[in-house]
């Protein structure tokens, strides 16, 4: 018997409707403070940094989506519509906290200081790419910015985040881990393993689940029958909160408090942000096949960037002229970075067999030799990179 369970003489099954977690909202869709809502303590500099990063990611997504359609990069995932969920949460953490993300949180990396050139290096897999061309586009990572490299398998970062946070606790660090994932990842087994590990081992990790309505084409109504994802945290003994993911103040306030709780109690916390993916799942997806334009338009009226802009205008911290200048600046910055970094050479071919071992073992060296021999035998199948020469050249396969 659970120690905290009270005894009863009544035969009654607990229904799903017995536990419905409310959604914290501080700002209305028009950017006005809700009646009885408490505005979080946030200074002008932090507020403007948050807004500027949200605006930057919207421009980056628009430019990179266009670049993918032009054939300048192979793949991309946008954050469109979910900027407040990401920027509002990362703003509540410190630069020395570890970030483990899924694949739609490039805004968190930008908030930490990732440059336009660094984004392009990774997306284009050139010789300055931190991943050395061995990752898919949008699989960012930065040791300097405490942003763990993204991996393709869904939800693997959840138990990893619990383990990393446990290590932070053992080391006595005044730091925690923030772990991002979507509602689809919450349907994976790693979600349950990670949450249980975090709860039982008292790991200072904050799980931020972006409930955006769809796991690619599968709506949440077909993923689970319960009241969203936050109640699952309570089932594991984890403090949980649900917030309006398009309300920047609600997300920020919840994140600041979640970090404080995680460090003060050495325990995990869950934040479920209720939002909507305005764009396609990826550049390989067509959302019109599983949702209608009317649904999208309803959520466009709740645009998190526009909501925050109205709040800033009302406070006198921002102007329409500043807004225009900022977005014009970002468009130029991003396009200039794309043009310059796409001219860079690819990583050397030898990078294929480095980094896993201190010295590449015999079997990898043999495979590398076989690859070089194959290239020499069938040179017409490959296009040498004109910026490099010799066996260290990076070669792009054409056929």
C-alpha to C-alpha distances, 112 to 153, 154, 165, 265, nearest whole angstrom: 24, 24, 19, 26
Catalytic residue check, 277: yes
Q: Catalytic residue among 260, 290, 324, 378, which? A: 290
Catalytic residue check, 242: no
Q: Catalytic residue among 277, 307, 330, 344, which? A: 277
Q: Catalytic residue among 281, 307, 330, 344, which? A: 281
Rounded-to-integer distance, Cα 40 and Cα 159, Å: 31
Catalytic residue check, 192: no
C-alpha to C-alpha distances, 179 to 99, 164, 194, 320, 362, nearest whole angstrom: 6, 10, 11, 35, 38
Token duo for residue 392: 């260290």
Rounded-to-integer distance, Cα 102 and Cα 252, Å: 20
Read off the DSSP letter of residue 55: H
Read off the DSSP letter of residue 90: H
Q: How many CB atoms lie within 10 A of CB 142?
A: 17
Read off the DSSP letter of residue 174: S
How do strand 23-24 and strand 177-182 relate by DSSP bridges? Answer: unpaired
Q: What SS3 state is found at 357?
A: coil
Any idea which residue has 């792009």 for tokens? 396
Catalytic (active-site) positions: 277, 281, 290
């Amino acid at each position: 018997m659970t120690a905290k369970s009270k005894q009863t003489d009544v035969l009654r099954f607990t229904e799903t409707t017995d536990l419905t977690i409310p959604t914290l909202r501080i700002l209305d869709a028009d950017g006005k403070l809700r009646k009885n809502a408490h505005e979080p303590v946030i200074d002008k500099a932090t507020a403007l940094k948050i807004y500027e990063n949200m605006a930057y990611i919207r421009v980056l997504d628009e430019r990179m989506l266009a670049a993918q359609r032009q054939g300048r990069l192979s793949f991309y995932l946008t954050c469109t519509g979910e900027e407040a969920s990401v920027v509002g949460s990362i703003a509540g953490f410190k630069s020395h906290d570890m970030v483990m993300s899924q694949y739609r949180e490039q805004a968190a990396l930008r908030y930490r200081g990732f440059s336009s050139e660094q984004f392009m290096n990774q997306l284009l897999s050139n010789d300055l790419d931190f991943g050395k061309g061995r990752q898919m586009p949008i699989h960012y990572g930065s040791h300097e910015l405490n942003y763990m490299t993204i991996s393709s398998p869904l939800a693997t970062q959840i138990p990893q985040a619990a383990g990393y946070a446990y290590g932070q606790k053992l080391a006595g660090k005044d730091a925690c881990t923030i772990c991002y994932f979507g509602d689809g990842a919450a349907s994976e087994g790693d979600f349950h393993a990670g949450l249980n590990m975090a709860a039982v081992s008292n790991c200072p990790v904050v799980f931020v689940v972006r409930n955006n309505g769809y796991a690619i084409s599968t709506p949440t109504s077909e993923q689970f029958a319960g009241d969203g994802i936050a109640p699952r945290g309570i089932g594991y003994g984890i403090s949980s909160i649900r917030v309006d993911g398009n309300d920047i103040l609600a997300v920020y306030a919840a994140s600041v408090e979640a970090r404080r709780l995680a460090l003060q109690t050495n325990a995990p916390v869950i934040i479920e942000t209720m939002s909507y993916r305005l764009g396609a799942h990826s550049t390989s997806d067509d959302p019109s096949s599983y949702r209608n334009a009317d649904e999208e338009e309803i959520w466009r009226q709740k645009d998190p960037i526009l909501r925050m802009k109205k709040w800033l205008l009302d406070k006198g911290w921002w102007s329409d002229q500043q807004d225009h200048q900022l977005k014009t600046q970002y468009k130029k910055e991003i396009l200039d970075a794309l043009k310059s970094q796409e001219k860079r050479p690819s990583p050397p071919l030898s990078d294929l067999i480095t980094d896993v071992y201190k010295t590449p073992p015999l079997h990898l060296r043999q495979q590398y030799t076989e690859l070089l021999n194959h290239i020499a035998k069938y040179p017409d199948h490959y296009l040498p990179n004109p910026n490099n020469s010799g066996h260290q050249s990076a070669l792009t396969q054409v056929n």
